[in-house]
Amino acid sequence: MNLFADAFAWIFSPDRLGGALPLPEAIATHVAFTFISVAIAAALAVPAGWLIGHTGRGREAAVALSGAARAVPSFGLVLLLVLVLGVTHKVAASTTAFVLLAIPPVLAGSYSGVEAVDRRIVDGARSVGMTAGQVLRKVEIPLGLPLLIGGLRSATLQVVATVTLAGYVGNWGLGFYIVQGIQLRDFAQILGAALVIVVLAVVLDLAFALAERAVVPRGVSAGRSAGDAPARRRRGSSPAPT
């Protein structure tokens, strides 16, 4: 418990507002790396995922790519790209590594969201004269948004944890405090920085969870509620005999 008390004291110390890397600046840098990387990954993976889910072509390759990318060690990928691009391009190398790590869950969320749409709904949209593009834009994408947000949520949580590794290649983000704490054997600093990362991840997870619920079309949520009512009545106690 003393270590946790020391960690909280480190977090809320006035010294965290100054020095070579103030804590608010480290948090802002950490968040910036996360959102920029996920945004770039989404720009690349979401259109490809929608196309795969709509046409059904390339799904096996996408699944294989996602599985292979998840097996790549994050730290090794960051160091490899820093060595390839050079130490003068450490920001670009780190961002590229985070983008590559974010693409698989975003790609999986985007194509699985389109694939999960009930084929009867798609057939109904086509029967009323919608073109393939209209079916994708007006039916499949809106109904697949919850799974897409789920993919973005997974990617964001993975990247916000992995950005910590940037502290090994540059004095950025919250990972800098952990690397510095290891070198100084300052366990309060290590735990304090880790707690800040955990809180940041929890806040982002809650935000995406709310967004995931918010993008469910009202007709779909109303249909679920109406369909669940008989089930709830069946599961409830039977009325008392008269």
Identity of residue 99: V
The C-alpha atoms of residue 45 and residue 42 are separated, in whole angstroms, by 5
Alpha carbon distance 63, 92 (integer Å): 27
- Rounded-to-integer distance, Cα 5 and Cα 3, Å: 5
Amino acid symbol at 59: R
The pLDDT, as a whole number, for residue 221 is: 53
Sign of CA dihedral 26, 32, 35, 40: negative
Q: Which has the closest alpha carbon to 174: 156, 160, 157, 155?
A: 160
- pTM for this entry: 0.83
* Rounded Cα gap, residues 63 and 116, in angstroms: 15
Question: Using CA atoms, how far apart are residues 13 and 19, in angstroms rounded to an integer?
Answer: 12
Determine the Cα–Cα distance for residues 21 and 218; give it in Å rounded to an integer: 46
SS3 content of the chain, % helix, strand, coil (to 5): 85, 0, 15
| Domain range annotation of the chain | 2-220
Tens digits of per-residue pLDDT, 190-227? 999 999 999 999 999 999 999 988 888 776 654 444 44
Helices (H), 136-217: 141-162, 175-184, 187-214
Q: What is the pLDDT of residues 147-200, one digit of tens each?
A: 999 999 999 999 999 999 888 887 788 999 999 999 999 999 999 999 999 999
| Fold category of 2-220 in CATH | MetI-like fold (1.10.3720)
